[in-house]
Chains A and B, each alone.
Chain A
């Protein structure tokens, strides 16, 4: 069973699966074992980014070559809501062979904007324990399962027979990441099914077909580990000025629904970082490629995003790329985790 917490009191039928509850449970099962105290840093802060930086040649669906487009019309606030998710994990206990039992929390929220204020429309918080079942003592796994806590076996993510504790830890983080994405996707799908007002999603939208094909979902990607341009095209993108967007291109992969995408500069480039204030936008790929319509759609959505440049997301370090609605989602999730 998935344990939940929310602003309303939890139902008594749900087991308390918070970090502290998990610590208490383990302490009761193994009174003399060294259990986490809660002062340990989250694993996310220790893990290195695993995705290697790369460039991918874009398949343009607007213009013959990558170029800058000035968004002439003034910004206009059109997003009705913002969606973001987060995760946090800590090692609860390390078995004798070093295999970690990780407590992970995945959460996501939709914050709806009404009269310029943001209110929670829906949110989900899920606490779970992550561990490689083959390496955890059977009695312990059984007792944890009996307690009502949801357990995730990370054997699949870990693969092979390696026994390095870090491999188990990374596997737990990856599995938690998938859970977090699932939480985000579930909320995004629900929005797209029941609402046709635009929603700004932090990150890509191609992971869920329903969302990727919805006209109301707009994904905004802040990280640029993968750049969809090479050579001159990349130079054009880095040269974008505030309020300019790139040509629209198609982002597609084997497991994801194709989407239309473009780069947009939210703030004038400052300092040495060419990606300062630069975001990549994803919207549903048009059924039929009509260059004029695609450009108009990109301009329209760009105006919506530019309108979100204020208020700035300071004091968040990513404020150059982060719209305030997403920061608000993060603050909310930080408060309820």
Chain B
């Protein structure tokens, strides 16, 4: 009897797209397997597949989930020379061939998960299917945190392959804490990937962070350009983006609650931010600190070469005994000092040094005159180096520590500041956040701190700065407090390994080939590296504690105005006169104020006094702005026009003197 067999596909069940293969030279292991597909299959690097074994193990057909990490293609040619000979060295002749050579698409996949998980065996031969939505959830162990009331999933994007369009969720317990925390994103500049991804994820967190886990706010440092200056303004997104938002269940809207903070320019009255357009000033506050705020972080601004043990001791003395305390000293006579500002401190230094000079003393209270002069020089310098942020007069306008709001973004624009001022702001703000979170009185339970250009603030090499120490501390201990670091940089390899190493979640945008060649990426296959080097805008590779392998996702363009668009639509206010600047500030409290009233109010008072009055008004936010502002100005002296008495004539002339003599 002779039989022939039809070879065709059976109908009904979804057809497999591949089949597992293994040879002695290329065997399968518990963590890796190989499969082939048809030439037109939708499989590519990053595709998630499911293998269905042929033989049951412990009564259960094994299901293995894997992600494609490498691909191979070859024909039955033994050597390329055969193809050359076959076409007489004419490449164009190949298209005339009646038949295409037998060709293979062979893929290597890394195992994401095996079901059952025990016994852990090499991947068996079996059929390979494209992972459906449910498969993706199982493969990435998302099923553990997407169930019922304990759902803690935060959408990070959509995995797309073939017909599968599955949202990928991060586990809030591993993103915001307490199990793990922190997120780091890396990628080349100029593709708007890093900032966009952070904006998207913040929106996703605000939409999905479980209520029962408490409140969450974000604090972003805008370190360059107008990137984060228009988070509350709607931006343009297309239909594809809207579909992604819908798929992830995140509203395609700008952030509802955003508060901006920026120091003044050195002139002391113009806000040093690209968000200075009058139409947007409603939620922009100044950020100014006085002596007390700064002195606590003096070591941020004073490097170790400047401040030796002696100088450090004097600074401690000033901090503990002078600032905000009534201070008297026999050297200074009966004069009592209460130092509240840099101006007060400068006066105090002058008096101390003058008194020492008069008495011919080399030292005062164990401090040598040279040390005093050096500390005076360095501290006085701070208000100059950080002009606009640090005020001489001690005026303070700070973040609302203690009353942070849930689902609110606080942006501090430090883009135009000198490095010292940036460091000071970062150090003080993060320290204050930590202090308040420790005391549980910040106003929210969790704060996400976003820092861009991390390779500048926490570099692998270079001196151990105060800011780097803070970032390390934040990365290593922040999650216990609810203080979470979201960081970004162009070159991950140049960031301190303890900072990136402590980031539970890592995102990668398009990468530079040189960066990919560094040892930190050696765990990635060449194909994955190639994909990383050619990622489109809106694509990310995600590593997360629950995912045993990196996953590629798409995320939508943030539904907020891009920095560049915002800068065009809301151009930065031009530098203006003091009165106009003060009016602009005060109008945020009382829009009815007029320039005429302000000019009458300030009259000929000097700039410092006017600025001090403005700062006090902004700080107090009184109901009657006019009255309060005027009350902050010293009473004007009554001005009298001097009446010049007529000088008596030297000699009066007779009334009848016709010549006037």
Contacts and interface: CB of A to CB of B under 8 A. Distances in A.
Interface of A: 1-2, 4, 6-8, 77, 79, 113, 116-118, 120-124, 126, 182-183, 186-187, 190, 307-308, 310-312, 314-315, 324-325, 327-328, 331
Nearest to A14: B3
Nearest to B83: A311
23 contacts: A2-B2, A2-B3, A4-B5, A6-B7, A7-B5, A7-B7, A8-B5, A77-B99, A79-B98, A120-B7, A307-B98, A308-B98, A310-B93, A310-B98, A311-B87, A311-B97, A311-B99, A312-B82, A312-B85, A314-B78, A314-B86, A324-B99, A327-B76
Contact of A314 (B2, B85, B93, B94): B85
Interface string B73-103: 0001111001101110000011011111110
A183 B82 CA distance: 32
A4 B100 contact: no
B86 A118 contact: no
A122 B83 contact: no
A307 B93 CA distance: 12
Among B1, B2, B83, B100: residue with most chain A CB under 10 A: B2
B305 interface: no
Given A310-B87, A311-B86, A315-B82, A328 B7 contact: no
A179 B569 CA distance: 84
Given A117-B99, A124-B3, A331-B76, 14 more contacts: A2-B3, A7-B5, A8-B7, A117-B39, A121-B7, A123-B5, A126-B2, A308-B99, A310-B93, A311-B99, A314-B82, A315-B78, A315-B82, A324-B99
A322 to B, nearest CB: 12
A1 B1 CA distance: 6
A324 to B, nearest CB: 5
Among B7, B76, B78, B98: residue with most chain A CB under 10 A: B98
B99 A116 contact: yes
A109 B94 CA distance: 26
A324 B103 CA distance: 13
Given A123-B7, A311-B86, A314-B85, A331 B100 contact: no
Interface string B90-127: 00011011111110000000000000000000000000
Given A116-B99, A116-B100, A331-B76, A312 B86 contact: yes
Nearest to A3: B3
A11 to B, nearest CB: 10
A122 B4 CA distance: 7
Contacts of A190: 4
B149 interface: no
Given A6-B7, A183-B2, A324 B77 contact: no
B6 interface: yes
Interface in B18-53: 39
Nearest to B39: A117
Nearest to A115: B100
A49 B79 CA distance: 31
Contacts of A325: 99
Nearest to B54: A9
A98 to B, nearest CB: 31
B3 A4 contact: yes
A183 to B, nearest CB: 7
A122 B7 contact: yes
B99 A328 contact: yes
Nearest to B79: A315
The 4 closest A-B pairs by CB, nearest first: A77-B98, A312-B86, A315-B78, A314-B82
Task: Identify whether the interface residues of A are mostly helix, strand, loop, or mixed.
Answer: mixed
Contacts of A186: 2, 4
Contacts, number: 86
B598 to A, nearest CB: 81
A277 to B, nearest CB: 13
B122 to A, nearest CB: 22
Nearest to B82: A314
Nearest to A120: B7
Contacts of B98: 77, 79, 113, 116, 307-308, 310, 324
A43 to B, nearest CB: 22
Contacts of A77: 98-99
A239 to B, nearest CB: 22
B5 A6 contact: yes
A126 B85 CA distance: 37
A311 B85 CA distance: 10
Contacts of B83: 311
Given A312-B82, A314-B82, A124 B99 contact: no
A167 to B, nearest CB: 27
Contacts of B87: 310-311
B555 to A, nearest CB: 38
B255 to A, nearest CB: 53
B530 to A, nearest CB: 27
A123 B8 CA distance: 12
B5 A122 contact: yes
Among A117, A126, A308: residue with most chain B CB under 10 A: A117
Contacts of B77: 314-315
B3 to A, nearest CB: 5
A187 B4 contact: yes
Given A310-B93, A311-B83, A314-B86, A124 B5 contact: yes
B99 A118 contact: yes
A123 B2 CA distance: 11
B6 A122 contact: yes
B528 to A, nearest CB: 29
Contacts of A308: 98-99
A77 B3 CA distance: 31
Contacts of B96: 310
A331 B6 CA distance: 19
A182 B2 CA distance: 9
A331 B104 CA distance: 13
A77 B98 CA distance: 6
